[in-house]
Amino acid sequence: MRTTFMPKAGQIKRSWYLIDANGKPLGRVASEIARILLGKHKPIFTPGIDTGDHVVVINAAKVVLTGKKAEQKFHYRHSGYPGGFKKISYGELLSSRPERVMMLAVKGMLPHNRLGRAMLKKIRVYENGEHPHEAQQPVAWQF
């Protein structure tokens, strides 16, 4: 009889990875980040346990939106009050808050529960090529 492997807290080693989003399509970068945050690149991956690593994303402002997504794709939000519906195009959002565009793309690819919220805390997104995580010695992730 085989048993399912369940990693213990001490067996999960968290690494730091650096991803440069310069010139890459938003969805391709976001799906790779979600893979790392979920821990699918590790042999100890278990769906119900957070086995993922930390990710530092640089050059988020230089990510590419393919096709006509900059004009035709919108981000919607609602304040909860009557008339509180707001929408902004992804082109405007990318020029004003590029970190938010990347976070929204990755958030949609993670589980929509408390496990996904815990995974989302392990991503740091920066607009330009500088980041304050040199002490963690992030390894450059190759696509």
Structural domain harbouring 135: 15-140
- Quick: pLDDT tens for 56-95: 999 999 999 999 999 999 999 999 999 999 999 999 999 9
What CATH number has the domain bearing residue 41? 3.90.1180.10
Count the domains in the chain.
1
Instruction: Report yes or no on 125 lying in a domain.
Output: yes
1 — pLDDT class (breaks 50, 70, 90): confident
| DSSP per-residue letters across 2-60 | -------GGG-PPPEEEEE-TTSBHHHHHHHHHHHHHTTTSTT--TTS----EEEEE-G
Q: What is the pLDDT of residues 12-31, one digit of tens each?
A: 999 999 999 999 999 999 99
